[in-house]
Amino acid sequence: MKKRVIAVSTALIFCVFGGTFAALYQPAEKTDEIYSAALEDFSKGNYQNAYYLFSKVTLFSNLKPIAIYHRAECARMLDDNKSELKQYQLLFNNYPNHKLSIRSRYLAGQKLVDTKPHLAKKYFEYIIHNAPETDYALASEYYLGVILKNKYKDAKIVPKSVKDDIQNHFRHYLEKAPSGKLALNAVNDWLDVSSDISKDDYLLMANTCYLFGEYEKAREILQKTDVTENWTLDVKISNALQNYPRAKFLTENGLQKRSQYVSEDSIIDAIDIYLKLSDSNSKAVDRLLSLASGKGTDYLLSLKCQNVEQKDKAACYSKLYLKYPDGKFSADALSNIFFSKVKSGDLENARKIGLDHLNKFPDANSAPMVMFWLGKIAERTNNYAEYTTYYENVINKFPDSYYAYRAYLKLSRMKGPLITDYIDPKPVVYPYKYKRNNIIVKLVDLKDYDIVNEIAGDDAFIKSWVLYKKGDYPNSMLTAREGMEKIKDKPDKYDLRWRLVYPVIYYDDIKNFAGLTGNNAPLMLALTREESYFDPLAQSIAGASGLMQLMPATANEINNKFKLGMLIPSSLFNPYQNIKIGNYYYEFLRSNLEGHDISSVAAYNGGIGSLQRWKTSLTYNDTDEFVEQIPYPETKNYVKKVFAGYWNYIRIYNGNN
């Protein structure tokens, strides 16, 4: 393709940045107008005019370095390599401390790898030295390996020290980013440059090939590795290649003979694959337990304990905890021992175990459950000050948890599971408050979302916000949720970041159909969020579809029963129709379960037949005891997540604590 070279204005005589002399003094409103017009042209593919307009941004505006970067983007889209490179160099030479400087230097280095490798090498080494923790530094390691490899590509003999340096660059990249954008290139380049590769390095390569879906190549490379260290990866590859007997054999053999040579996480992955390939989960767990003697045994024991009858749980979890008191599953085991004591009425020992749990595992996922139940123990003994303190501590320390919701009900003396059916929806906005002239705010106003994302660094909430603005609600919420989970001391309910974790989407339709069916609208919002993260095209492996994840057969039954007049299954991917059917289905469950929302939410996930069996087979004194004993771990967690979502929507958008 013939290059279209961009004409550079003669106005560079007056200003090296490409703007006219008059543009140096343009008012802020004019600068914003020019910048917005340039962004619009760029979005429409009018790159030539966008390139020109970005040059009009005044030198004195804090938008200038970003405009230069956008000019480079325009040049790239026009296949004008010379102008693209010039803009990158202009940016990092004149704005060395700008957030886009490192990226511009990296992109410039990429363009120079083949034509000016010495200059590219200089750029990459600068990035590694000055921004060592960035992804650009990691990618620079790869390119330094490529540059060194290219330097000796025509040499008859490559010195061993050079080969070692090349391998070190590629190895460093694969160790840090096995699924990175350049990882597969690193594998291929490494294989080209050397045949003297260690078994450990081949294992790195095989893992990357697996992660990229190159299963046959991964299998081929894996044959050059140590069988004692490769078996968990071999399980994954065999499963991906649908060699299921081999995957199961490798898991059994590895647990029996080679568990000490691989990581615990990789063993857990292998066990999970084995279970998915087995007809009976409980029999599969027993089979593997009979073989395992090292790593993975505690995970298998925890799975076994989840599936034993309630009367046997205490003994099972006691065995697990006594054998692995500091293991990965010890906090969960101790919390289950604690609850078993509560359930049996041994409140004195339950209290001791609960306090021991909070002392040993204060930040574990099971800590809010233990704290809440310690409150219930104190309440049973009429110790007002103690149970009030426990409930308040749950709300203060774990404000977004299911147990904060239950504690609020206790403190408020509410008998039912629902607090209110009212919320005051507020829009998702930029998650931080900045000073008026902050560049982030400026870019937000101008809707230059990609640049906001770029200069935000590792801030999960800004990345979440950009995804939200692009309409990618599922990934927006996942990103915000992961960011919030990393914050030990949670912000107050008014913090704007919470809206990204719990956005109000499709609420008009949800509220409308909740009203028609007698459902609680915020609860339906929380249920919809949990089912699909507001992805109208979501579809499970089993075939559940749309926002409220309805099975076609179930939807068809509800459609006929309530005479909704919809076409199933195509209508399930229509948000309006899916919400309508989902609400009528929930109302059907609720009407058959005496109007109990806890039971209805459980039935929505586990099925009404299962729910009715649990209610007759389990012994419980109240809702809390029932939820803790739900036999299906997935359904028990689902109930907690939905009501935690309901609680968060209420507290964030309606002022409850």
DSSP E strands: which ranges in 147-187? none
Determine contact, residues 255/288, Cβ cutoff 8 Å. Answer: yes
Helix or strand holding residue 31 (H, E) = helix 28-43
402-411 vs 384-397: helix crossing angle, rounded to 10: 140
Determine contact, residues 574/538, Cβ cutoff 8 Å. Answer: no
Q: Which residues contact 328 (CB under 8 A, 6 or more apart)?
A: 264, 298, 299
Name the residue among 508, 506, 539, 517 with its Cα closest to residue 589: 517
Q: State yes or no: cis peptide before 96, omega within 30 of 0.
A: no
| Separation between Cα atoms, residue 276 and residue 284, nearest integer Å | 9
| Separation between Cα atoms, residue 237 and residue 560, nearest integer Å | 45
Catalytic residue among 84, 141, 530, 531: 531
- What's the gap between Cα 269 and its chain centre? 18
Q: Which residues contact 208 (CB under 8 A, 6 or more apart)?
A: 174, 178, 179, 183, 184, 186, 187
In three-state secondary structure terms, 26 is: coil
DSSP E strands: which ranges in 46-175? none
214 is catalytic: no
Q: Which long-range contacts (CB under 8 A, 24 or more apart) does 201-204 make?
A: 201/167, 201/171, 203/229, 203/230, 203/233, 204/171, 204/174, 204/175, 204/178
Ramachandran assignment for 595, one of left (phi > 0), alpha (psi -120 to 50 degrees), beta (any other): left
Determine contact, residues 40/32, Cβ cutoff 8 Å. Answer: no
Q: Which long-range contacts (CB under 8 A, 24 or more apart) does 391-397 make?
A: 394/368, 395/657, 397/367, 397/368, 397/371
Residue 116 carries which side chain, given as an amino acid letter? Answer: K
User: Could you tell me which residues are beta bridge partners of residue 550?
Assistant: 545
Q: What are phi and psi of 364, to 5 degrees?
A: -70, 160
Determine contact, residues 227/201, Cβ cutoff 8 Å. Answer: no
Q: Which residues contact 568 (CB under 8 A, 6 or more apart)?
A: 552, 555, 556, 559
Q: Which residues are catalytic?
A: 531
